[in-house]
Amino acid sequence: MDFLTMAQIAGTGLKFVSALQGGQAAQDQAAFDNYQTELKINQDKIVGRQKMNLRNAQFAANESINRATFLSGMNRDISDKSFRAFMERQRLINAEDVESIEAQTTMSVSQLKTAQKATSLRADQAKQAALLGAGSAIASGLFRYEQYRVGESLFD
């Protein structure tokens, strides 16, 4: 086997291995990115729960202050309609705030999960492209080997 043939085989082998490694590297990077995104998802869920708990704690503290202010400081009766309406409105505002925090957390998690799917899809496509590139490297290497073996170009 002459030097050019050996060089052609070695070059084809390198292109083949390089293409496969490129696809694997893309998948490894996607796995790492998806892991980081999963951490962010869990972090966002925790932060959302913390915000909801904080808002509920604020509501409870404000409710105690409002009761003390209205009932003792202003000499209102607990059956007073304006007092009950005020307290009910405060409960509704708290519920709306908690729902808003929950919705925001849900949307953030949904966006991150969509990003994860897109990352996985890109990695799968890169792997597929790498396999096609590896196959192309083998095919072109065989074609060039045949040219060297025959000693003439098919396009002359």
Contacts of the segment 138-145: beta carbons below 8 A, 24+ positions apart: 138/12, 138/16, 140/12, 141/8, 141/9, 141/11, 141/12, 141/13, 141/15, 141/16, 142/12, 144/8, 144/12, 145/5, 145/8, 145/9, 145/12
Phi, psi of 39 (to 5 degrees): -60, -40
Per-residue pLDDT at 48: 96
Per-residue pLDDT at 36: 96
Give the residue, 35 or 76, on which the prediction is more confident: 35
DSSP designation for 71:
I
Q: How far is CA 60 from the centre of its chain?
A: 36
Q: Is the pLDDT of residue 155 over 80?
A: no
Per-residue pLDDT at 153: 52
What the block records as the tokens of 100 is 């808003």
Pick the CATH number of 3-150 from 2.60.120, 2.40.10, 3.30.70, 1.10.287: 1.10.287
For the chain, the structural domain boundaries read 3-150
Q: What percent of the chain has pLDDT over 90?
A: 56
SS3 75: coil
In this prediction, residues 67-90 reach a mean pLDDT of 83
Considering the chain, what is the average pLDDT of its residues?
A: 88
**Per the confidence metrics, is the pTM higher than 0.85?**
no
Query: What pLDDT, in 10s, does the model give residues 111-145?
Result: 999 999 999 999 999 999 999 999 988 888 888 77
Query: What pLDDT, in 10s, does the model give residues 29-66?
Result: 999 999 999 999 999 999 999 999 999 999 999 998 88
Contacts of the segment 80-88: beta carbons below 8 A, 24+ positions apart: 87/63
